[in-house]
């Protein structure tokens, strides 16, 4: 176990779909001797890239679950977390960013800054992660690294600075020029494993000098020492490295590198850049909250001699049991140690300790601050903090986007239902943005997630891994009924046809009630309704609220005021007055002009400003009301209220309307009246159903 | 009480009567007071009155917390509904929400061009063209005349009334011969109506300092109720 933090890096590789980051990671594994052969992501030799462990991922050619791996490069220990690039799997990227110290932002040399690059970059901003950029696929037609660097500046607001220039492009792409050493780099050997340094080709010398000057200009604005040296023409390589490192860690600049990972060109310099420019664990401030001190912030020290504080950031169910990935922020853990889960207060023993390599495991005996490892046999949830020595710390909770889409599930039979429950239990533990519950009103199983693809994958996993066949549909909207004006009642319940009779009369009114579902006020005087029957009256009225007469949905917002009544010495009873109350409610209900209410959601959309008009259109088309608009950098923030019924399928609509660049969240806001036309439709539907029953 | 009745009885009618029928389209008005006295509450009450009369209002916010403004509107509306026993509350509340748009402007943004561009973009995007703008939190200190000329032109271009709030700082409180405090006094020719809120023992009085070009300024018989934060009639 290394305690020299300067030789540790925890990085992620984030990017848009198909920008080639999995290929890049594969090359990294190869060059750092973690794998012995290169398999293409969707290769002809039948084997997928090592990092894509799941069959499903291989089939779709996408990476679903984040995998972590440890590599060694020039005596540095680097933990790399490969992260998926789909909007639907944002939680994976978010989770990885929470525990990493730096990142490589991979961009396509032809596509440039694409939809997910924007989302991913905002996520990196949220977690203040320093990054370097790698412009990939320079061997493709139309590759233009200068244009992509411009886009980094314009679209993402980065101070992007090219640290290399390409030698040739497209089919002529041969290598890169390092603007610090001012040497040309070529990648020889079957897999580009041998780097050959040469003089810069004559035709590129002028351009290289120009770009170097630009780079120095830029960096010296951020570093006085370099600025002085630049003026005096005394710039050294080391001084540049030092200045760029400082500026990158402070997120004042993004150094840009380039290559073609598929063609084995440009990868090793990126590894060098990770070491040179991205922070080690001791250079990043990490804080926890001390529950014993009213959640006061505590700065954690990456010191193996201090008490343990570590965060469980990923769970994986394997055939050996649950595998928990952890980031150790302070202290160290050894096999056999006892640690405490500060959320549940459970004490657990550290069993098997693993260093992960994609889908292969390496057993280790201990791990310390700054490291990312995995544990077996620890039952916990994502986001749980573990400590030792009685410390009651929690790491700040991870930002988990709220699920925005839901589907109802109907298993084909009882066996399927059983397996479905097992599957859902597992998925919920692994993924905090995947939620499931049984709707108490409709008895349907509902699943919620980040997008249609997100839920699709789980449904397919249920089918493949648990053999569950299910039907899916739209969940039903939970309507409500209410009244809009006061209405009187005067109702007598009478059954006096021989034998024990029933008699009860209630007089009063119902009126609309705000802020509460139900209220009951008793103003009966002189014992006209004996006091022992008052609670039965209330029960009777309450019973009517379960199912309104309009469309059979629960009634809310009603106040009942009981003013008077009559009773019979023999025939009055609890039952009689309950029936009287029920009758009274029914009598008054339609006089009170009942209305149908629907759930209205508070929707917040963040979109690049260019799409603001389009997004507003999508909201207006959904009977939405715009509440507020705002501008932040080049992003518009729109808050609106939209009926839940209109929000089904919105994630797909929004994605198409904004090229995937917009995000939205949705939460319940209130109940509001449905428009007349919808009310009529619902009433017709209900009376049709009623007649059939 | 029905909405129509409420509108007739609203103290805002008293305000309008005292200022020549109202602020008037294309004109600027300002409520000025020390911090915390009740400018926002007053502005929101004026806005809610406009909204209940089925007019559109844009509320420009310079704060970091735009939801704060919605809370103000909810509060004022609920107090009005309570005070006047308003019927059809749900419908009236819906109407307010539909007729109102909140635009969040960057606190640091002072460039009129930038402000105008953001507002116009939002208005065109949402197809929302109001009769009134509320500008709450736009500091009057360290301003040039051009800053308010911009707003005057804006009001005229959009044929709308614009009501401002102007916070007075204790350290630099000066009054001109009309009793108008600085910094509002520096731009008084651009404002048609200037009202000052003054805390008294158990209410906050509304003092009319400028009424269009009227040399004789009426005594406003209005106050702000510190409990409900509603404008109310006041027997002087």
Q: What is the pLDDT of residue A337?
A: 93
pLDDT in tens, A567-595: 988 889 999 999 999 999 999 999 999 99
Chain B residues with beta carbon closer than 8 angstroms to that of A673 = 90-91, 94
Cβ–Cβ below 8 Å for B102 and A514: no
**A459 C-beta neighbours (distance < 10 Å), count:** 17
Mapped onto helix, strand or coil, the DSSP state of residue A463 is helix
Peptide bond into A410 cis (omega under 30): no
Range of A316-325, A594-603, A643-652, B213-222 with top mean pLDDT: A594-603
Find chain B residues with C-beta within 8 A of A484's C-beta.
Answer: 88, 90
- Strand-strand pairing, A194-198 and A254-258: unpaired
Least CA distance to A595: which residue of chain B? B90
pLDDT at residue A507, rounded to an integer: 97
Residue in chain B closest to A620 (alpha carbons) equals B126
The answer to whether the CB atoms of B105 and A625 lie below 8 A apart is no
Taking CA atoms, B222 is separated from A354, B52, B204, B232, in Å, by 75, 20, 9, 6
Q: Is A550 helix (H, G, I), strand (E, B) or coil?
A: coil
Mutate to test the interface with B, among A557, A592, A628 (most CBs of B within 10 A): A628
Angstrom CA distances, A386 to A109, A331, A340, A342, stand at: 42, 11, 5, 6
Has residue A169 got a pLDDT over 90? yes
Residue A621: strand pairing partners? none
Interchain proximity B126–A626, CB inside 8 Å:
yes
Nearest to B89 among A514, A631, A639 (CB): A514
**Interface predicted TM-score of the whole assembly (ipTM), two decimals:** 0.81
Q: Do A626 and B124 touch (CB under 8 A)?
A: no
User: Do B125 and A612 lie within an 8 Å CB cutoff?
Assistant: yes
Would the pLDDT of A398 be above 50?
no
* pLDDT tens by residue, A102-132: 999 999 999 888 655 766 676 677 778 999 9
Q: Which among A484, A627, A632 has CB closest to B70?
A: A627
Do the Cβ atoms of A627 and B89 come within 8 Å?
no
Classify strands A309-318 and A385-387 as parallel, antiparallel or unpaired: antiparallel
Chain B residues in contact with A629 by the CB 8 A cut-off are: 101-104, 122, 125-126
Q: Does A628 touch chain B (CB under 8 A)?
A: yes
**In terms of CA atoms, which chain A residue is nearest residue B81?**
A514
Give the strand pairing for B28-34 and B193-199.
parallel
Average pLDDT of span B206-234 = 82
Higher pLDDT, A496 or A370: A370
pTM, full prediction: 0.57
Work out the pLDDT band at B61, boundaries 50, 70, 90: confident
Mean pLDDT of A427-433: 82
pLDDT tens digits along A321-330: 788 889 999 9
CATH architecture of structural domain B3-233:
3-Layer(aba) Sandwich (3.40)
Chain B residue set in contact with A, beta carbons under 8 Å: 61, 66, 69-70, 87-91, 94, 97-98, 101-106, 118, 121-122, 124-128
Residues A629, B125: C-beta atoms closer than 8 Å = yes
pLDDT tens track for A527-563: 899 999 999 999 999 999 989 999 998 899 999 999 9
pLDDT score of A565: 96
User: Which tens digits make up the pLDDT trace of A432-461?
Assistant: 778 898 887 778 889 987 656 678 789 889
Closest A-chain CA to B82: A514
Residues of chain A with C-beta less than 8 angstroms from the C-beta of B91:
673
Spatial contact of A389 and A307, defined as CB atoms under 8 Å apart: yes
Place of tokens 């007349």: A676
Comparing CB atoms, the residue among B91, B118, B125 nearest residue A613 is B125
- Cβ atoms < 10 Å from Cβ of A413: 9
Q: Chain A, 452-511: which have a CB under 8 Å from a chain B CB?
A: 484-485
- Whole-angstrom CA distances from A626 to A208, A599, A618, A657 are 52, 16, 11, 18
Q: Nearest by CB to B97, from A616, A627, A630: name it.
A: A627
From the candidates B70, B107, B122, which should be mutated to test the interface with A, based on the most A CB atoms within 10 A? B122
CB contact under 8 A, B101 and A627: yes
Section A463-477 average pLDDT: 83
**B-chain residue closest to A672, CA distance:** B90
Residue B66, pLDDT > 70, answer no
* Gap from A589 CA to chain B (nearest CA, Å): 17
Q: Which residue of B has its CA nearest to A626?
A: B101
Query: Of B60, B90, B107, which to mutate for an interface test with A (greatest number of A Cβ within 10 Å)?
Result: B90
Closest residue on chain B to A632 (Cα): B106
Q: Answer yes or no: do B103 and A626 touch at CB < 8 A.
A: no
Nearest CA-CA distance, residue B48 and chain A, Å: 15
Q: Is residue A76 pLDDT above 60, yes or no? A: yes
pLDDT in tens, B112-129: 888 888 888 888 888 899
- Locate A357 and state its tokens: 């390599």
The pLDDT score that the predictor gives to residue A64 is: 37
Q: Using a CB-CB distance cutoff of 8 angstroms, which residues of chain B are in contact with residue A631? A: 104-106, 118
Q: Partners of A333 in the beta sheet?
A: A367
Does A626 contact chain B (CB < 8 Å)? yes
SS (H, E, C) chain B: CCHHHHHHHCHHHHHHHHCCCCCCCCCEEEEEEECCCCHHHHHHHHHHHHHHCCCCEEEEECCCCCHHHHHHHHHHHHHHHHHHCCCCHHHHHHHHHHHEEEEECCCCCCCHHHHHHHHHHHHHHHCCCCCEEEEECCCCCCCCHHHHHHHHHHHHHCCCEEEEEEEECHHHCCECCCCCECCHHHHHHHCCEEEEEEECCCCEEEEEEEECCCCCCCCCCEEECCCCCCEEECCC
Cβ-defined contact of A626 to B94 (cutoff 8 Å): no
Residue count of chain B: 236
Contact A618/B at CB under 8 A: no
Q: Which chain A residues are within 8 Å of B102, Cβ to Cβ?
A: 627-629
Round the average pLDDT of chain A to a whole number and report it.
85
Contacts of B51 in chain A (CB under 8 A): none
Min Cα separation A616/chain B (Å): 6
- Cα A87 from Cα A102, distance rounded (Å): 21
pLDDT over 60 (residue A611): yes
Question: How much is the pLDDT for A44?
Answer: 39
Q: Which of A424, A448, A451 is nearest to A90 (CA)?
A: A451
Give residues with Cβ within 8 angstroms of A54, minimum separation 6. Answer: A64, A65
Does A631 sit within 8 Å of B125, measured CB to CB?
Answer: no
- Residue B122 and residue A629: Cβ atoms within 8 Å? yes
pLDDT of residue A468 exceeding 70: yes
Q: In chain B, which residues have their Cβ closer than 8 Å to the Cβ of A512?
A: 89
Higher pLDDT, A30 or A175: A175
Decide if A630 and B98 are in contact by the 8 Å CB cutoff.
no
Nearest Cβ partner for A641 among B97, B122, B128: B97
Are A639 and A627 in contact, with CB atoms under 8 Å apart?
Answer: yes
Are the C-beta atoms of residues A329 and A288 closer than 8 Å to each other? yes
What pLDDT sits at residue A89?
A: 41
Mean pLDDT of A133-154: 94
Chain B closest CA to A622's CA: distance in Å?
Answer: 14
CB A657 within 8 A of CB A608: no
At A322 the pLDDT is: 83
């Amino acid at each position: 176990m290394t305690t020299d933090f300067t030789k540790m890096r925890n990085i992620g590789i984030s990017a848009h779909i198909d920008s080639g980051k999995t290929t890049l990671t594969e090359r990294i594994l190869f060059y750092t001797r973690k794998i012995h052969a290169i398999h293409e992501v969707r290769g002809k030799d039948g084997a997928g890239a090592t990092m894509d462990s799941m069959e499903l991922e291989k089939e779709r050619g996408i990476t679903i679950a984040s995998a972590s791996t440890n590599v060694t490069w020039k005596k540095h220990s680097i933990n790399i977390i490969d992260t998926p690039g789909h909007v639907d799997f944002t939680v994976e990227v978010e989770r990885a960013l929470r525990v990493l110290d730096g990142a490589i932002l991979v961009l396509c040399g032809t596509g440039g800054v694409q939809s997910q690059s924007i989302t991913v970059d905002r996520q990196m901003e949220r977690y203040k992660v320093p990054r370097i950029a790698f412009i990939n696929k320079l061997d493709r037609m139309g590759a233009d690294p200068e244009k992509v660097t411009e886009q980094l500046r314009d679209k993402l607001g980065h101070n992007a600075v090219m640290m290399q220039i390409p030698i040739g492009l497209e089919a002529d792409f041969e290598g890169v020029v390092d603007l610090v050493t001012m040497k040309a780099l070529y990648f020889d050997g079957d897999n580009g494993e041998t780097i050959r340094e040469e003089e810069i080709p004559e035709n590129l010398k002028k351009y290289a000098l120009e770009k170097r000057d630009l780079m120095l200009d830029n960096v010296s604005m951020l570093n006085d020492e370099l600025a002085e040296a630049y003026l005096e023409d005394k710039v050294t390589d080391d001084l540049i490295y030092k200045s760029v490192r400082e500026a990158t860690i402070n997120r004042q600049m993004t150094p840009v590198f380039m290559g073609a990972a598929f063609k084995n060109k440009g990868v090793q310099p990126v590894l060098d850049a990770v070491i040179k420019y991205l922070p080690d664990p001791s250079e990043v401030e990490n804080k926890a909250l001390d529950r014993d001190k009213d959640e006061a912030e505590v700065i954690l020290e990456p010191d193996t001699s201090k008490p343990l504080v570590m965060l469980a950031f990923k769970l994986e169910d394997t055939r050996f049991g649950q595998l928990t990935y952890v980031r150790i922020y302070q202290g160290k853990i050894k096999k056999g140690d006892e640690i405490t889960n500060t959320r549940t207060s459970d004490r657990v023993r550290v069993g098997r300790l693993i260093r992960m390599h994609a889908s292969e495991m390496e057993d280790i005996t201990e791990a310390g601050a700054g490291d990312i490892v995995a544990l077996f046999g620890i039952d916990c949830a994502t986001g749980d903090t573990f400590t030792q020595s009685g410390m009651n710390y929690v790491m700040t909770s991870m930002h988990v986007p709220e699920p925005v889409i839901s589907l109802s599930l109907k298993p084909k039979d009882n066996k399927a239902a059983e397996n479905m429950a097992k599957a859902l239990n597992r998925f919920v533990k692994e993924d905090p943005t995947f939620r499931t519950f049984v709707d108490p009103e409709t008895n349907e199983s509902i699943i919620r997630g980040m997008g249609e693809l997100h839920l699709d994958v789980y449904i397919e996993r249920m089918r493949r891994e648990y053999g569950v066949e299910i039907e899916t549909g739209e969940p039903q909207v939970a309507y409500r009924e209410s009244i809009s004006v006061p209405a009187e009642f005067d109702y007598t319940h009478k059954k006096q046809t021989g034998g024990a009779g029933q008699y009860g009369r209630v007089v009063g009114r119902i009126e609309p009630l705000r802020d509460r579902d139900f209220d009951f006020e008793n103003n009966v005087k002189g014992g006209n309704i004996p006091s022992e029957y008052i609670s039965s009256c209330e029960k009777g009225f309450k019973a009517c609220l379960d199912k309104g007469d309009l469309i059979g949905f629960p009634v809310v917002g009603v106040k009942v005021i009981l003013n008077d009544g009559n009773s019979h010495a023999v025939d009055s009873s609890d039952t009689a007055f309950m029936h009287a109350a029920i009758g009274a409610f029914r009598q008054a209900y339609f006089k009170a002009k009942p209305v149908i209410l629907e759930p209205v959601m508070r929707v917040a959309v963040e979109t690049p400003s260019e799409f603001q008009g389009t997004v507003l259109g999508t909201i207006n088309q959904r009977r939405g009301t715009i509440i507020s608009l705002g501008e932040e950098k080049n992003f518009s923030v729109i808050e609106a209220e939209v009926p839940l019924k209109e929000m089904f399928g919105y994630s797909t609509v929004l994605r198409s309307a904004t090229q995937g660049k917009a995000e939205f969240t949705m939460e319940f806001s209130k109940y509001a009246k449905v428009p007349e036309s919808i009310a009529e439709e619902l009433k017709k539907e209900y009376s049709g159903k009623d007649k059939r029953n | 009480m029905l909405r129509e009745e409420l509108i007739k009885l609203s103290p805002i009618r008293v305000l309008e009567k005292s200022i020549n029928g109202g602020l008037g389209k294309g004109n600027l008005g300002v409520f000025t007071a020390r911090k915390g006295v009740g400018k926002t509450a007053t502005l929101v009450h004026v806005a809610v009155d406009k909204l209940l009369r089925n007019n559109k209002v844009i509320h420009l916010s310079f704060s970091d917390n735009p939801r704060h403004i919605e809370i103000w509107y909810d509060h004022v509306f609920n107090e009005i509904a309570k005070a006047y026993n308003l019927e059809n509350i749900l419908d009236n509340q819906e109407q307010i929400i539909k007729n109102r748009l909140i635009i969040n402007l960057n606190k640091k943004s002072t460039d009129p061009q930038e402000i105008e561009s953001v507002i116009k973009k939002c208005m065109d995007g949402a197809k929302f063209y109001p009769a009134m703008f509320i500008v709450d939190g736009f500091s009057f200190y360290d301003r040039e005349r051009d800053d308010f000329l911009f707003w005057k032109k804006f009001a005229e271009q959009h044929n709308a009334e614009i009501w401002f709030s102007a916070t007075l700082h204790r350290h630099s409180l000066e009054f001109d011969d009309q009793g108008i405090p600085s910094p509002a006094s520096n731009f008084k020719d651009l404002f048609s109506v200037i009202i000052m809120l003054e805390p008294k023992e158990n209410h906050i009085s509304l003092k009319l300092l400028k009424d269009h070009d009227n040399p004789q300024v009426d005594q406003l018989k209005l106050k702000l109720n510190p409990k409900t934060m509603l404008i109310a009639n006041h027997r002087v």
